[in-house]
Amino acid sequence: MLNHNIKAALSSLDLRAVLFDMDGVLYDSMPFHAKAWVYAFAQEGVTFSDYDVYMREGMTGSSTVEEVFLAQLNRRATEEDCQRIYRVKSDYFESLGEAGEMPHVDEVLSCVKANGVDRYIVTGSGQRTLFDKLEHSYPEMFDKRQMVTAYDVKKGKPDPEPYLMALKKGGLQPNQAIVVENAPLGVRSAVAAGIFTIAVNTGILRNEELEKEGANIVYPSMKAFAEDIPEIISLAKK
């Protein structure tokens, strides 16, 4: 349900593109990332919960290890620590197999495309085969030139750089885009880039974690967002 203030804010946009985060938005991959991080830290004798993983989604692997070492082991992580733990995490993640598509996001994508609004991907992921995977899951929905990945930016989320880079690639102003995110640090990045931000809580966090980062709307599920997307587009597109 869109309230009056949200409708007014959407009406002030000149929507040209929707910028989609990937993990936890297009793919239901966060449960696997959580399992893998918890496992990797357990090998070091460090207690780390699923909740801890979801709160840090978007940070680089090294930043995650550095922060946790300081907080729990009271020492700085070396580069070797970061590489060792991240390797264990990545191997375990791979062993879990491919994460599935997020239910109901195909309805969102189809509605955006049918209205002639561009789709961008903005992710901290750096998989070389990313585009092939996307094309398989969501045929003809994305364009290679309309992606920002780990290879495009120096600073990842929560820095605004990834979303600013997407605007730059598209020759877009902040009011010509909407971001779809699931993670607190992703919301922070998008809000800092000055873009209208929709958070979809597809994981285990409380909605407040997304609200307090400044999301314009927080949906409790992808299904709830998919129900509103036609109205959102019709208000935001001139």
Tell me the closest approach of the beta carbon of residue 21 to Mg ion, in angstroms: 4
For residue 25, give both structure tokens.
Answer: 């938005």
Which residue number, 24 or 162, has a Cβ lying nearer to Mg ion?
Answer: 24
Which residue of this chain has its Cβ atom nearest to Mg ion in the complex? 24
Nearest one of 177, 106, 118, 109 to 143, comparing CA atoms: 118
Which residue number, 162 or 167, has a Cβ lying nearer to Mg ion?
Answer: 162
Tell me the closest approach of the beta carbon of residue 181 to Mg ion, in angstroms: 6
Tell me the closest approach of the beta carbon of residue 108 to Mg ion, in angstroms: 15
Where do contacts with Mg ion occur on this chain (CB under 5 A)?
Answer: 21, 23-24, 182-183
Which residue number, 77 or 191, has a Cβ lying nearer to Mg ion?
Answer: 191
Q: Using an 8 Å Cβ cutoff, are 196 and 36 in contact?
A: no
Which residue number, 21 or 44, has a Cβ lying nearer to Mg ion?
Answer: 21
Tell me the closest approach of the beta carbon of residue 110 to Mg ion, in angstroms: 21
Which residue number, 15 or 179, has a Cβ lying nearer to Mg ion?
Answer: 179
Which residue number, 21 or 161, has a Cβ lying nearer to Mg ion?
Answer: 21
Q: Using an 8 Å Cβ cutoff, are 202 and 193 in contact?
A: no
**Dihedral through CA 207, CA 209, CA 215, CA 218, nearest 10?**
-10
Which residue number, 25 or 164, has a Cβ lying nearer to Mg ion?
Answer: 25
Q: Concatenate the DSSP letters of all residues of 57-109 into one string.
A: TTS-HHHHHHHHIIIIISSPPPHHHHHHHHHHHHHHHHHT-PPPBPTTHHHHH
Q: Using an 8 Å Cβ cutoff, are 168 and 189 in contact?
A: no
Tell me the closest approach of the beta carbon of residue 51 to Mg ion, in angstroms: 15
Q: Is 50 exposed, middle or buried (0-12, 13-18, 19+ CB in 10 A)?
A: middle
Tell me the closest approach of the beta carbon of residue 185 to Mg ion, in angstroms: 9
For residue 14, give both structure tokens.
Answer: 């000149």
Q: Using an 8 Å Cβ cutoff, are 182 and 201 in contact?
A: yes
Tell me the closest approach of the beta carbon of residue 224 to Mg ion, in angstroms: 17
Length in residues, the chain: 238
